[in-house]
Amino acid sequence: MEGRADPARAPGQPVARTPAPIRAPARPGGFEGGSGIRSGTATVSAADTGLGTLGTYNDGYGAFLTSEPAFGVDPNNSTHLVAADAGSNQMKVSTTSGTSWTADANLTNRVTDFGRYNFKVDSLVGSQAHAVAFDPANGNRILVGTEAAGIIASVDGGATWQRMLGSKSVSAVTSFFFDEVNKAIFVSSYGRGLWKLDMTRRAATLDYTGDTHDDFNDSATLSAHLYDSANGPSSPIDHVTVNFTLGSQSCSGQTDNNGNVSCVIPTLTQNAGPYTVTASYAGDAQWLPQTTSTPFTIDREDTALTYTGATTQDYHDPATMSAHLFDPTDNVGIAGKTLTFTLGVGDTCSAGPTDSSGNASCTIVPTQQAGNYPVVVNFAGDGNNQPASTTFFPFVITEEETTTTYTGDTLIANARMAHLAGVLKEDGIVPIPGRPLVFTLGTGITAQTCTGITDATGTAGCDILVNQPLGPGTVRVDFDPLDVDEFYLPSSDTRTTLVFGFPDRGAFVIGDQDVALNATVEFWGSDWAKVNHLSGGAAPDAFKGFASNANTNPPVCGVLWTARPGNSGNPPDTVPSYMGIYVSSSITKTGATTTGDVFEIVVVKTDPGYAGNPGHHGTGTLVASPSMPTQPAVFCHA
């Protein structure tokens, strides 16, 4: 610490800190109230650990200049000290008899008037803090006199500090005197006379000036104005703490130079409804505590919706509906809520709860015909959130894709009934019932049509009496060929047909061992029994290939036929260009009657040269089925 020079110490050498025993002077007759103690040993030790340089202020001028240390000790509690540290420019406090010191930021700010004055004024004046005094009757009352910042006081042992109102008029404070009898405090000043200090705490006024309503889940700004009641708003109470309480939430702030204070509750988490906001000032050495309350309403949160889902989908296919629920004030998503989507009329789904970003989705399968429709998204609201709704338009429902597959006859006997059939499905998977399929056999002026209605499996069919040119042709099945269905797209399927005929009477026969794709067969001739081979044994020589008593209307497999020998059965004069022929596995003769079985019926493309005389052989090629090109054209099989 700074002080008088020590002649035993070299310049710059620190003061010795080694404790030294001192002989205390004896007091005649001993200590009053003592117990015979005549003398003792005192120990001197450092009391400035953590204190840089003890601040001083200069009193007098020129040759009469003296330096007074700026520190004070509670006379009733010597562990409590307050001092000015000129080394760190801070006011410091010790509660350990000076063995450790702690900076008091609040007191430092008051001494410098929050930076308006230097902690060290200049070399002439010295420290801004001049005098520190504890009230001998109440150690919680502490006064700090300054050069220009007035008188700083505490009534709670230094927990809070406040400049005494009007005390800036007293500059260059030099000392305090506590008159415990008259309950007065006197203040001396350098060149400014003697002052009497009234420590009666004054009334303060606290006006609430902040929000009185905010939305749930939004922030709330709470504010107030604190000032001296007698002098009014022109005398603000600055740099003190005001606490705000709103329901179960709170915040605090420090008044500014004008006595205004505010703080923010970042998120109102309490349920919507009426509340009270309370502002409280604890008071200090100068002013009494003050509290004020104001009604506050937490309103239901404003909400908004944005549709973010699909904008088009086929009829009967799933569409993802999604939306974003948010607070329109700050665009923050609202989590944990249920949203309802309505597409057009009757197609609805519910989604939720919304995720942490306020998003939710669900699936609607459109059941309305193709067209433009609105999507309406609704949030019903709840105790803390306003309802919200939004409409997106247009959502386009398109016609569903379909597949139509022909499944009916392709090897068709002319002048007989043919069964035309097909299957209609959504995307080739789901059957579509109740829709018409139009079948067209052949093309051009000879085309024949019929219509069937699909059943629960999507299958439709119809029968038609065939009247077509013989040979290869086509059959076509169409769904919605005129595109009038408002739910499904048109589709079709075309297959190749082979139309054949039977002779105008009876039927020709070949052996079952001669059936092979593209094979040349003989169905009529004098040597028929030699060139045809049957699994049931050789045919009688008398059979020339014509089953005169065969019934081909309708043509049926698994029956028997009979014939008269040779050409006595009256074979036809001509044969069809594509002809249905019986395949027999066994032919026998009893008397004049020949009998054979109809193992199957195949189609043969006949060659020129046929005549009703067995000497004019009837031959042809066993042709392939259009639907099974690697197999013989088998019309039926036993």
Q: What is the pLDDT of residues 91-127, one digit of tens each?
A: 999 999 999 999 999 999 999 999 999 998 877 778 8
**CATH class of this structure's domain 45-197:** mainly beta
The SS3 call for residue 57 is strand
Between CA 340 and CA 349 the distance in angstroms is 6
Between CA 335 and CA 360 the distance in angstroms is 9
Q: Which fold has domain 402-500?
A: Immunoglobulin-like (2.60.40)
Structure confidence at residue 630 (pLDDT): 66
Confidence of residue 22 (pLDDT cuts 50, 70, 90): very low
CATH 2.130.10.10 domain range(s) in the chain: 45-197
Confidence of residue 501 (pLDDT cuts 50, 70, 90): very high
The yes-or-no verdict on residue 39 having pLDDT over 80 is: no
Neighbour tally for 637: CB within 10 Å: 12
Tell me the per-residue pLDDT of 204-262, one tens digit each, with 9 for 90 and over.
999 999 999 999 999 999 999 999 999 999 999 999 999 999 999 999 999 999 999 99
pTM of the model: 0.66
Summary mean pLDDT of the chain: 89
CATH 2.60.40.2550 domain range(s) in the chain: 304-398
Rounded to the nearest 10 degrees, how much is the dihedral formed by the CA atoms of 325, 328, 334, 339?
-20
Between CA 466 and CA 545 the distance in angstroms is 27
Q: Which fold has domain 304-398?
A: Immunoglobulin-like (2.60.40)
Q: Which fold has domain 204-299?
A: Immunoglobulin-like (2.60.40)
CATH 2.60.40.10 domain range(s) in the chain: 204-299, 402-500
Which of these, 283, 198, 203, 298, lies nearest to 243 by C-alpha position?
A: 283
Backbone phi, psi, residue 63, to 5°: -65, -15
Query: Which range, 36-40, 55-59, 624-628, is most confident?
Result: 55-59
Q: Which residue has 């789904």 as its token pair?
A: 349
Distance of CA 333 to the CA centre of its chain: 8
Confidence of residue 41 (pLDDT cuts 50, 70, 90): low
Structure confidence at residue 76 (pLDDT): 92
